[in-house]
Structure 1
Amino acid sequence: MEEVNEEVWELRLYVAGKTARSVAALANLKKYCEEYLKDKYVIEVIDLLVQPQLAEGDQILAIPTLVKKVPEPIRKIIGDLSNEEKVLVGLNIRPAK
């Protein structure tokens, strides 16, 4: 039996409350993950209004910010993630042709 090393993508989305941009960023992120990383991703949403101390660890300067923890290298994308091409390039996701 062949073992397939399917790496799980660990994504962390920093938001501040339920602003329109934060809600849009999460919706866009979920859409891309379902399309390109089906069953291979974990999204952790961190609300900095609730846990402001967590911004320092990933050096969050703007909101919303998406941080890709795994697979390395760590990448950050700021904004509502509405530009699909920019997000895919930023996360280094190659759409299957």
Structure 2
Amino acid sequence: MKTKEEIWELRLYVAGNTVKSQTALANLKKYCEEHLKGKYIIEVIDLLVKPQLAEGDQILAVPTLVKKVPEPIRKIIGDLSNEEKVLVGLNIRPAII
């Protein structure tokens, strides 16, 4: 019997529909489709609309990506344009030493 694969829960915090926010979301979707196809959920939180949500994940800058599941919780700040840094940061790919 096949075990249920874990769904990656990713939360992207942005402040408005800026170029940086759009770039971060586009990059995130691209990486997820390449490496986590069918195994991820992306929740985008606009802190201009819901500023109170920043406190829960201790968001200090935007855009910030928070990986909630699988643990450990990880955060990556920026537009996510460095694919290697994002994949290592999310534990999708091991760091190359």
TM class, shorter-length: over 0.9
2:36 maps to which residue?
37
CA displacement 1:35-84 (0-9 Å, x = unmatched): 00000000000000000000000000000000000000000000000000
Gaps in structure 2 of 5+ consecutive residues: none
CA displacement 1:8-44 (0-9 Å, x = unmatched): 0000000000111000000000000000000000000
Aligned-partner residue type, residue 64 of structure 2: T
Aligned-partner residue type, residue 65 of structure 1: T
RMSD, matched Cα: 1.0
Aligned-partner residue type, residue 26 of structure 1: L
1:85 maps to which residue?
84
Which 4+ residue blocks in structure 1 deviate beyond 3 angstroms?
A: none
Alignment of 1:9-48 (within 5 A): 9-48=8-47
Query: For the residues of structure 2 that align with 1:61 and 1:9, how far apart are their CA atoms?
Result: 23
1:69 maps to which residue?
68
Query: For the residues of structure 1 that align with 2:19 and 2:75, how far apart are their CA atoms?
Result: 20
Gaps in structure 1 of 5+ consecutive residues: none
Aligned-partner residue type, residue 10 of structure 1: E
The two structures have a TM-score, normalised by structure 2, of: 0.94
SS in 1 for 2:27: helix
Percent of residue pairs identical: 84
Aligned-partner residue type, residue 91 of structure 1: L
Equivalent residue pairs, number: 94
The two structures have a TM-score, normalised by structure 1, of: 0.94
SS in 2 for 1:88: helix
